[in-house]
Amino acid sequence: MGKNIGFVSTRFAGTDGVTLESSKWATVLRRNGHSCFWFAGKLDRAPERSFLAPEAFFHHQENKWIDAQVFGKKRRDAVVTDAIHSLKSALKLKLREFINKFSIDLLIAQNVLTIPMHIPLGIALTELLAETQIPTIAHHHDFFWERTRFIVNAVGDYLRMAFPPNLSNIEHVVINSAAQEELALRTGLSSIIIPNVLDFEHPPVVDATHTEEFRKSIGLTRNDSLILQPTRIIQRKGIEHAIELVEDLNDPRCKLVVSHEAEEEDYEYSVWLTENARERGVDLRMIDLRISNPMSPGVNDHDKYSLWDVYPHADFITYPSLYEGFGNAFLEAVYFKKPLLINRYATFVRDIEPRGFDLAVMDGFLTRATVQKVREILESPARRDQMVNTNYAIAARHYSFAVLERWLKTILTNFFGMPA
Each residue's pLDDT tens digit, 303-349: 566 778 788 889 999 999 998 888 888 999 999 999 999 999 999 99
Pairing state between β 254-258 and 316-319 = unpaired
Residue 223 pLDDT level (bands cut at 50, 70, 90): confident
Contact 340, 359 (CB under 8 A): yes
Reported confidence tier of residue 216, pLDDT bands at 50, 70, 90? confident
* Average pLDDT of the segment spanning 185-209: 91
Confidence band for 267, pLDDT divided at 50, 70 and 90: confident
Q: In what order do the strands lie in the sheet with 170-174?
A: 50-52, 35-40, 4-8, 106-110, 136-140, 170-174, 192-193
* In the predicted structure, residue 123 carries a pLDDT above the cut 80: yes
Q: Is 180 helix (H, G, I), strand (E, B) or coil?
A: helix
Q: How confident is the model at residue 356 (pLDDT cuts 50, 70, 90)?
A: very high
pLDDT value at 42 more than 80: yes
Identify the DSSP state of 75. Answer: -
Greatest alpha-carbon pair distance for the chain in Å reads: 66
Between 99-108, 325-334, 389-398, the lowest mean confidence (pLDDT) is in: 325-334
pLDDT at 217 (0 to 100): 80
Average pLDDT over residues 36-56: 96
pLDDT the model gives residue 299: 54
- Which pLDDT belongs to residue 372? 96
pLDDT of residue 199: 94
pTM check: above 0.85: yes
The amino acid at 254: C
Label residue 215 by pLDDT band (50, 70, 90): confident
Determine phi and psi for 316, rounding to 5 degrees: -160, 145
CATH class of 4-197+401-416: alpha beta
- Say if residues 158 and 123 touch (Cβ distance below 8 Å): yes
Portions of the chain given CATH number 3.40.50.2000: 4-197+401-416, 208-398
Average pLDDT over residues 68-95: 98
The answer to whether residue 420 scores a pLDDT higher than 90 is no
Residue 405's nearest CA partner among 197, 205, 141, 203 is 197
In the chain, the percentage of residues whose pLDDT exceeds 70 is 94
Mean pLDDT for the stretch of residues 382-392: 96
Running DSSP on this structure, what letter comes out for residue 149?
Answer: G
Superfamily of domain 208-398: Glycogen Phosphorylase B; (3.40.50.2000)
Angstrom distance (rounded) from CA 322 to CA 342: 10
> Span 85-91, mean pLDDT?
98
Confidence grade of residue 291 (pLDDT, cut at 50, 70, 90): low
Provide mean pLDDT across the span 182-199: 96
Asked if the model's pLDDT at residue 418 lies above 90, the reply is no
State the helix-helix crossing angle for 61-70 and 78-101, rounded to 10 degrees.
140
pLDDT value of residue 288: 59
Using 50, 70 and 90 to split pLDDT, how confident is the model at 286?
confident
